[in-house]
Amino acid sequence: MPFELTILGSSSATPTQNRHPTAQVLNIRERFFLIDCGEGTQSQLVRYKIKYSRIGHIFISHLHGDHYLGLMGLLSTMHLQGRNNEIHLYGQQELMDIIELQLRLSQTVLRYNLIFHPVKNYSGTIILEDEDLSVSTISLNHRIPCTGFLFKEKPKPRKLLINKMKQYNIPFKYYAGIKNGENYEDDFGNIIPNKELTISAGRPRSYAFCSDTVYLEHLADEVRGVDLLYHESTFMHDLLDRAKATFHSTSIEAATVAKNAGVLRLLIGHFSARYKDLAPMLEEARTIFPESELALEGRKFVVHEQP
């Protein structure tokens, strides 16, 4: 089952000819999650052939315009297209205040149920959990309250070795327990270890989205070992003072978090419009963390299932 991230926007506050404000779509087992929704997100969804109807949950990190100004247009288009499936929206309480104001002034009553989940800027709060996954908050430090999001698959039941099940004549009623890790004891008291009857269904996969933030040393502990880490990288390191003044990070700082956290891959984005050529920024990040990539529009990053 897929676990893949599509980048819709990679620019910071000012869009450029080739880069749009922040927006990403995460597909976990054919469930689609929109993360941030900068201006132009609708067009990017169309461009990369992601149907609006597939999106069931939207996460907004903070209320700077380049991270949410595309949201009202997207919600309105879903309404005009006759959507009736509910949408879950996660963000600061003021986000819902803005949406309610716009709906009231435009005299619009959405055809679908918009379920709002207020988010506080605390770390480790689970804001979505079901049998397949959990999403928890990551506390960031920006000029206004800003929250990152950690997506984690739940461990899947082990896969049965049907030939072994038949070999030991194991009744069907025991299958569920064996998939969940139980050993099997036959009528004679012989115990068949679970590892002989099953194989791993693959370790759970994970993605951490760290939106606008000044460098935080402790962030490495919160994203430790994730398969894929997105960390903003607005500036190259020669503009460290500028990054600190604006509560942003540099490519070196993003790579340092990735290295200290022991993640598998780093994606850097939220690039300042001053950078026409991003190759030097990527090269700079790779001096610290070689498995760094640019989170550019249209790029898809896949986390494959592993034993």
Which residues are known catalytic residues? Answer: 66
CA distance 3 to 265: 14
Strand 31-37 and strand 55-59: the pairing is parallel
DSSP classification of residue 208: E
CA distance 107 to 91: 23
CA distance 36 to 92: 12
Across the chain, which distance is largest between two alpha carbons, in Å? 75
**Exposed / middle / buried, residue 210 (Cβ in 10 Å: 0-12, 13-18, 19+):** buried
Strand 265-269 and strand 228-232: the pairing is parallel
- Please report how the helices 71-80 and 93-105 are oriented relative to each other, as an axis angle in degrees rounded to 10: 50
Structure token digits, residue 216: 């935080």
Instruction: Give the type of residue at 244.
Output: K
Q: Which residue has the tokens 């939220």?
A: 270
In angstroms, the Cα distances linking 202 to 24, 73, 114, 129, 148 are 25, 39, 34, 20, 26
